Amino acid sequence: MNPSEIPSNDSFFGRFAERITKFSGSTAAFVGAAGTVVVWAATGPLFHYSETWQLVINTGTTIITFLMVFLIQRAQNKDSLVLHLKLNELIAATRGASNRLINAQDFSEKEIATLHNFYCRLVELAKQDADLGKTHSVEEAEDNHSEKLAAHEE
């Protein structure tokens, strides 16, 4: 997702969505929703549990759920983008880290599977290393492992 695809909090929609998202996760929102259900249930006998009475709660919850899906997705997109930016900063700033992983979220599934296999191989090589604090690349791990095997064979 491009940063330009996320509405700015300077826009009316950005401010509105941010406020609704924050409110919907609050205790007050939960109490309000629970109270609405209690009031609705209490009015059941008054309306003889009619189809219209049932339709009111069904329609209300469907509309709210439908709209909340989009607000939740918007918040998730923003959080995900921010997390990726923070991780990219750490990768870019860390000596020895592979810059190939910057923007890994944009990789194809095949590229992600290739990277996953790469790190699985690194884990296997690390398991063979007695020094748990040592970190290295796959190439360094393979060289280190080969050196250890050669030393043991002598």
At 6 the pLDDT is 55
Residue 5 has pLDDT above 60, yes or no: no
At 4 the pLDDT is 55
Question: Tokens in use for 23?
Answer: 């409110």
Q: Does the pTM of the predicted model rise above 0.75?
A: no
Residue 129 has pLDDT above 80, yes or no: no
* Alpha-carbon gap, residue 107 to 129, rounded angstroms: 31
Q: Where are the alpha helices (DSSP H) in the chain?
A: 12-24, 27-42, 51-93, 109-127, 138-153
Map out the domains of the chain as residue ranges. Answer: 3-93, 107-153
The string of pLDDT tens digits covering residues 16-51 is 999 999 999 999 999 999 999 999 999 999 999 999
Cα Dmax for the chain: 91
Mean confidence (pLDDT) of the chain: 86
At 51 the pLDDT is 96
